[in-house]
Structure 1
Amino acid sequence: RRAAAPAGGLRDRLAAAPAEDRRRLVEELVAGQVAEVLGYASTATVGPDRSFTELGFDSLTAVDLRNRLTTRTGLSLPATLVFDHPTPAALTGHLLAQLGPGPAAPTLLDELDRLEAAFAATPPETLAELAADEEIRSTVAARLRALLTRWDGDGGVTATLDDASDDELFDFIDSRFGRS
């Protein structure tokens, strides 16, 4: 008997897997557990569209499968699981829907929301202390300007005048307005 894989491991694998591989991963889990519960030597006998009763399930083996899948998925599954979803394919679809596609990667707007929330959660006196430290203030301002520059896509044109050399200023003026 194999040791149970932690439920987080399956969720992590599903989250990291391309969408087209997620169903296969859950199908393999279901087929493997069905074969173990019924004492089959391999999963080859477990066809995705064969009914659980045709495969040999009764109420005891149904509960055993439910318990194993609960352990491996971390989901709260009913004792009637194999009767509610009567084939391995139907059960796979149900588990996949319950497990979801996995956490989505944070979007740029999500990250901006997180940054705004961090600023909002920082007490005003702490912000004032940080802003009073010239090194911190200039570092934060430079990084925010660099992000804005990347967003604007102007190759650094929004940098402050203090950061530009005379040659850079004249090159900018020439490129934007032409030579006179």
Structure 2
Amino acid sequence: MPAPRAAATAPAAARTTLADRAADLDPEALHALARTVVTTAVGEVLGLPRTARLPEDRGLFDLGLDSLTAIELRNRLGSEVGERLPATVLFDHPTVRDLAAHLVDLCAGRRTLFDAGALGDWVDSAATLTADDDRRAGLVRALKSALGRLTDPDEADDPATAFGMDSASDDELFGLLDRELTD
């Protein structure tokens, strides 16, 4: 068996992961892509030529994977799905087919929880508000507050966070008070 070789990686900005592409694919295409991702990663960690065809139902360790290449494979696939995979993932899913199905399950679970494309469309339309528009300042505060609650659930009950006051500037607070007191 040839010695494992380091694979060239694309720059982070140009590279898209399986998790990134999953949202745009139907289930059949996602399964096919996951199998390709797994077979490519296995071939790379084993130092096989790109043209090598790997049997999908043969055990990964039977193909030549050892403990070191197993760790490298686990880490590569973890970066494809955006999370650290458990140390036992290659034992729990010992073939290309099983491992690809597991990665699909991980990606599919995220697809149904959140539609990043819809959020991007919404932000694009909200960005048309001019910088001096009070609605934009309020929207920015509300979004910062929501992000704060998502990243630190303990802040969810903090009234300053709930109303976006924790991120308001002095001028914004005085402007709010002036408008409230003059109306």
TM-aligned CA distance change 1:65 to 1:4, over 3 Å: farther
CA gap 1:9/1:33 in 2 versus in 1, 3 angstroms: same
Distance 1:18 1:89 in 2: 18
Q: Which amino acid aligns with 1:13?
A: R
Structure 2 match to 1:50:
58
Aligned counterpart, 2:101: 93
Q: Which residue of 1 aligns with 2:43?
A: 35
Deviations 1:23-71 (A, max 9, x none): 1111111000000000110364311111012101111111110111122
1:75 maps to 83
Q: Taking structure 1 as reference, are residues 68 and 50 closer, same or farther at Cα in structure 2, changes over 3 Å only? A: same
Aligned equivalents of 1:5 and 1:87: distance in 2? 29
Deviation at 1:13, TM superposition (A): 1.2
Please give the secondary structure, in 2, of the residue aligned with 1:55: coil
**Is the Cα–Cα contact under 8 Å of residues 81 and 106 in structure 2 kept in the other structure?**
no
In 1, the alpha carbon distance for the partners of 2:50 and 2:95 equals: 17
- Counterpart in 2 of 1:159? none
Q: Can you give the 5+ residue segments of structure 2 that lack an aligned partner in the other structure?
A: 1-6, 119-141, 143-162, 165-175
Q: Tell whether the 8 Å contact from 1:19 to 1:101 is kept in structure 2 after alignment.
A: no
Asked whether the equivalents of residues 14 and 22 of structure 1 are also in contact (C-alpha less than 8 Å), the reply is yes
Q: Which residue of 2 aligns with 1:9?
A: 16
**1:19 to partner: Cα distance:** 2.6
| Residue deviations 1:65-100 (CA, integer Å, cap 9, x gap) | 011112232121022221111101111111111113
Cα contact 2:75–2:84 (8 A) shared by 1: no
Q: How many residues align?
A: 126
**Secondary structure of residue in 1 paired with 2:23:** helix
Read off the aligned partner of 2:31 and give its amino acid letter: R
Distance 2:11 2:91 in 1: 25
TM-score with structure 2 setting the length = 0.53
Higher helix content, 1 or 2: 1
SS at match of 1:48: coil
For residues 28 and 50 of structure 2, the distance between their equivalents in structure 1, rounded to whole angstroms, comes to: 24
Q: Alpha carbon RMSD of aligned pairs, Å? A: 3.9
Q: 5 Å matches for 1:61-72?
A: 61-72=69-80
Contact 2:35–2:97 (8 Å) recurs in 1: yes
The structure with more radius of gyration: 1
SS of the residue aligned with 2:62? Answer: helix
Q: 1:42 to 1:61 in 2, by over 3 A?
A: same
SS of 1:54's partner is coil
Identity of aligned residues (%): 40
Q: SS where residue 46 of structure 1 aligns?
A: coil
Of 35-44 and 59-68, deviating more is: 35-44
1:60 maps to amino acid: L
Matched residues in 2 for 1:5 and 1:13: separation?
17
Cα distance, 1:43–1:55 mapped onto 2, change above 3 Å: farther
